[in-house]
Amino acid sequence: MEAPGLVVGAALRAPPPPPPLRCSPRGAADRLLVFSREPRPRLAPLTRCYCSREGKGNARSKPHREGSNSVREWLIFVSLSRLNVKANNDQRIMNLELMSQETYLADERHEGVDIWELFSEAQRNILHLNKQRLVAMEELKKLQDENKSLLQDIEVLETERQGFSIEIAESSRFSELLLRIDTMTISGMVGMTEASDLRKKVIDNRYMIHSVFSDIHHKQDTELLSELQLYLRKPAEKPLHVVHICSEMDPITSRGSLATYVTGLSSALQRKGNLVEVILPKYAGINEDVIHCLRKAEADYESYYGGCWHKNRIWTGISSGVSLTLIEPVQLSYFDRDMLRGYPDDFERFSYFSRASLDYIVKSGKQPDVLHVHNWETAIVGPLFWDIFAHQGLGNTRILLTCQDLTSQCLEVPNMLELCGLDPHKLHRPDRLQDNSETNLVNVLKGGIVYSNKVLLMSSTLPRDMAIQGLGHGLEATLTTHKEKVLVASHGLDGELWDPSKDIYLPQRYSPNDIEGKSFCRKALKRHLGLHSGSSVVVGCICNGDSNTDGLREAVRVALHGGAQVIFMENKGPVMNSTVQALKEELKGDSVMFVEIYDEALEHLIFAGSDIFLCSSFYDPLLQIAMRAIKYGSAPVQINFPSNGSRQTEWHDYPSTALSQYIISTYGDMSLSQALDGIKNNPSQWDWRIKDAMSKVLSWDAECYDLHWEAYSVIRKL
């Protein structure tokens, strides 16, 4: 007997009629029913996995929109509604099919059909339904994949929309300023000659207007005129053309602090009206999805290396609004590898890239004001530039070297310099590239310091003299000799990625003026990690390999004694480091949570959900953890807090940056126990301190930009 065909379609479609009956004699059926001790087989209820719906309504209803996230929420709502309607319809269909089968069985039993044949038929129906269920689940998976792709497209659209909004704001500010000058002229506040000079100044500095004249809409004509006249008397600053030659850039390829530094500084320079370009190696694992308009140039070019000329393929694109050039060697596989660096031939790889970058700049006719090179990987650009390229149309170009840290310097035998065209006999000298300790070797980073016009040491807390001595790592004598060209600059915070008012990873956003979302994020964090809910304080910590085990152990003891919950997460690592692993085995309990695998979204939620954040030290050259904590309304507290205040007293005398002075003066003398007491005993004062800290401008457009602009301005005058 063939199984009846089951229809899977619209939710309200009637079940199919039963097939013609093929009954056995009633007597046989009765005898079967009387003598069988087995219970009558029944169809097992079918189960189905489908997405639960948070709210009521259908795909046609209009969701509530909040802030700038309305488009994203609406599209996500539509996608989820499609999934829910599909899942619910399939569930109704299966229920109707089951009801039809049970009714059919009851009728057949009443008529005395062969129960075993009906049972076999029911089994076939179950198999058919299971097949339909698998098909439906495959469709559901396909819709989920489409939804994920849609979310990615939304993120790209939001990024483009933000850039478009900035362009509109800049154009609006420019037009409004010109119109205000017109009204001042008509009213007689300024003469026609002065008005013409003001217009010319505004037009010549069109791309700087947005940052120079803020909130002009609410200013009176007299106040605005005073600002314009002051601006008119300032000497005009020609926009700079800066080319970064570097080994990494976020989010294209990233391994350390250099990647975020290049992106943050380049974007800030571009927003101020300067022309910025970045040259990178085209690694095999590069993230091409974040590069807009990526295209391969039709023509190759050649660069010198190892005694012959090698072809290079050029790729161009845009990332974070900055022009990008990727250099891909055609014949050599220097960058067709899994890692960015860490290979025995790293000197060959990056000296090839440095030489190829300079050959590309000359052959493309570029004449940048500044070549900005970074760390030892591109420090060889300095000697190459002044010995080979300066006379090839780049006489007005200057070299700026940034050192994120001086621990990696790249020591090589002198003859290796010949590969990229340098003369080892000329450079292997104490005042040039000869290493200060191992005199038989050349030091590539030292060569960058000697041959650069300016050197930037990255430190948020140490002034120049202390940075030279504290960060030198054997190059103290060289840095002291070239002290006049050494400057200290700080890192900024990525204002797009690390801002709770627009963070895409948070379940609810918040700001200093509307901080209610922070408590919501704290509850969401506890729920996500399985911590018990309640009003207990959350202490967060993003650990790295430098974290002190004893300090962390003591911090956990103090936190638990104060009734707090503690959350540890590894900093961008696939497995936990030895420090955190040791703590996990030692510290157990319901109030201590270890996140064993790094998760970017969870990292943002930990910052948002924590009241206090543990930092290794305020001597951290980048202060990134402390700045993120402050921005997200968490108090940064040192892990290794000294028992006496001697170090803090010395800190207050350091002529460091304004940002580090604020962090040290506000949180430098605060221990973890004092922070816990402050939250518990004086919550109103604590909330005021947190909101005040959140309102500080920590992005690249603030103090860190000014420090870098000072270095660029000095270089341009050399």
pLDDT digits (tens, 9 = 90+) for 46-95: 333 333 334 444 433 434 434 445 545 555 555 555 555 555 555 555 55
Distance of CA 638 to the CA centre of its chain: 24
Radius of gyration of the chain (CA): 34
Whole-angstrom Cα distance, residue 284 to residue 333? Answer: 10
pLDDT at residue 579 tops 80: no
Under DSSP, the state recorded for 55 is S
**Mean pLDDT for the stretch of residues 113-126:** 76
CB 480 within 8 A of CB 509: no
**Mean pLDDT for the stretch of residues 446-461:** 92
Q: Which two structure tokens, joined as six digits, stand for 161?
A: 């929309």
C-alpha dihedral over 251, 257, 262, 268, to 10 degrees? 100
pLDDT at residue 310 tops 70: yes
Q: What is the pLDDT of residue 255?
A: 76
CB 545 within 8 A of CB 577: yes
Partners of 489 in the β-ladder: 458
pLDDT at residue 644 tops 90: no
C-alpha dihedral over 333, 337, 342, 344, to 10 degrees? -40
Residue 620 amino acid letter: D
Share of the chain above pLDDT 90, in %: 39
pLDDT at residue 566 tops 80: yes
pLDDT at residue 701 tops 60: yes
> Of 51-65, 82-96, 253-267, 672-686, where does the model show the most confidence?
672-686
Q: What is the pLDDT of residue 613?
A: 95
Q: Which residues contact 715 (CB under 8 A, 6 or more apart)?
A: 369, 370, 398, 400, 453, 454
Q: Which two structure tokens, joined as six digits, stand for 208?
A: 């700087």
Secondary structure of residue 14 in the 3-state scheme: coil
Quick one: pLDDT band at residue 254, thresholds 50, 70, 90? Answer: confident
Under DSSP, the state recorded for 21 is P
pTM confidence score = 0.68
Whole-angstrom Cα distance, residue 253 to residue 250? Answer: 6
pLDDT at residue 37 tops 80: no
Q: Which residues contact 260 (CB under 8 A, 6 or more apart)?
A: 250, 254, 491, 494
Q: Which two structure tokens, joined as six digits, stand for 212?
A: 């120079």
**End-to-end CA separation in angstroms for the chain:** 96
CB 707 within 8 A of CB 656: no
pLDDT at residue 624 tops 50: yes
162 or 447: which carries more pLDDT confidence? 447
What phi, psi does 635 have (nearest 5°)? -85, 120
Which of 45-54, 247-256, 455-464, 706-715 is least confident? 45-54
301 or 496: which carries more pLDDT confidence? 301
pLDDT at residue 379 tops 90: yes
579 or 121: which carries more pLDDT confidence? 121
Q: Are strands 565-570 and 635-638 parallel, antiparallel or unpaired?
A: unpaired
Could you count the other beta carbons within 10 Å of the beta carbon of residue 529? Answer: 18
Q: What is the pLDDT of residue 252?
A: 92
**Mean pLDDT for the stretch of residues 87-115:** 57
**Mean pLDDT for the stretch of residues 3-19:** 43
> Of 16-25, 45-54, 107-116, where does the model show the most confidence?
107-116
Convert the pLDDT of each residue in 149-208 to its tens digit: 676 666 555 555 554 444 555 566 677 777 778 778 878 887 888 888 877 777 776 656
373 or 513: which carries more pLDDT confidence? 373
Kind and range of the H or E element at 711? helix 703-716
Place of tokens 């790592």: 473
Which of 102-106, 129-133, 141-145 is least confident? 102-106
Distance of CA 685 to the CA centre of its chain: 32
pLDDT at residue 543 tops 60: yes
Q: What is the pLDDT of residue 367?
A: 92
Q: Which two structure tokens, joined as six digits, stand for 526?
A: 């506890």
Which of 67-76, 93-102, 214-223, 433-442 is least confident? 67-76
Whole-angstrom Cα distance, residue 573 to residue 599? Answer: 9
Using alpha carbons, select from 248, 327, 319 the residue that is nearest to residue 289.
319
Secondary structure of residue 691 in the 3-state scheme: helix
CB 705 within 8 A of CB 500: no
CB 224 within 8 A of CB 180: yes
Buried b (16+ CB within 10 A) or exposed e, 562-592: bebbbbbbbbeeeebeebbeebeeebeeebb
Peptide bond into 500 cis (omega under 30): no
Q: Which residues contact 265 (CB under 8 A, 6 or more apart)?
A: 492, 700, 704, 705, 708
What phi, psi does 404 have (nearest 5°)? -65, -40
Q: What is the pLDDT of residue 621?
A: 58
Residue 688 amino acid letter: W
Using alpha carbons, select from 321, 396, 327, 333 the residue that is nearest to residue 359.
327
Place of tokens 């079940």: 15
Could you count the other beta carbons within 10 Å of the beta carbon of residue 702? Answer: 18
> Is residue 215 left, alpha or beta, with left meaning phi > 0 and alpha meaning psi from -120 to 50?
left
Whole-angstrom Cα distance, residue 60 to residue 561? Answer: 53
Partners of 241 in the β-ladder: 275
Q: What is the pLDDT of residue 31?
A: 38
What is each CA distance from 394 to 64, 275, 367, 717, in whole angstroms? 58, 17, 6, 15
**Mean pLDDT for the stretch of residues 443-454:** 97
Q: Which residues contact 440 (CB under 8 A, 6 or more apart)?
A: 413
346 or 706: which carries more pLDDT confidence? 346
What phi, psi does 115 have (nearest 5°)? -65, -35
What is each CA distance from 192 to 173, 187, 213, in whole angstroms? 22, 11, 22
Using alpha carbons, select from 427, 424, 421 the residue that is nearest to residue 303.
421
Q: Which two structure tokens, joined as six digits, stand for 43?
A: 């169809």
Kind and range of the H or E element at 458? strand 454-458
CB 613 within 8 A of CB 625: yes
Whole-angstrom Cα distance, residue 613 to residue 567? Answer: 10
Under DSSP, the state recorded for 487 is E
Share of the chain above pLDDT 70, in %: 72
Whole-angstrom Cα distance, residue 389 to residue 392? Answer: 5
Under DSSP, the state recorded for 370 is E
Quick one: pLDDT band at residue 334, thresholds 50, 70, 90? Answer: very high
Q: What is the pLDDT of residue 63?
A: 40
Give strand ranges (E) for 320-363: 322-329
pLDDT mean across residues, the chain: 78
Secondary structure of residue 538 in the 3-state scheme: strand
pLDDT at residue 272 tops 90: no
Buried b (16+ CB within 10 A) or exposed e, 185-194: beeeebeeeb
Using alpha carbons, select from 634, 17, 613 the residue that is nearest to residue 6.
17
pLDDT at residue 666 tops 60: yes
115 or 683: which carries more pLDDT confidence? 683
Place of tokens 């009204």: 183
pLDDT at residue 256 tops 80: no
**Mean pLDDT for the stretch of residues 269-280:** 91
Total residues belonging to the chain: 718
What phi, psi does 209 have (nearest 5°)? -60, -40
**Mean pLDDT for the stretch of residues 642-665:** 59
**Mean pLDDT for the stretch of residues 388-400:** 93
Q: What is the pLDDT of residue 214?
A: 57
Q: What is the pLDDT of residue 637?
A: 92
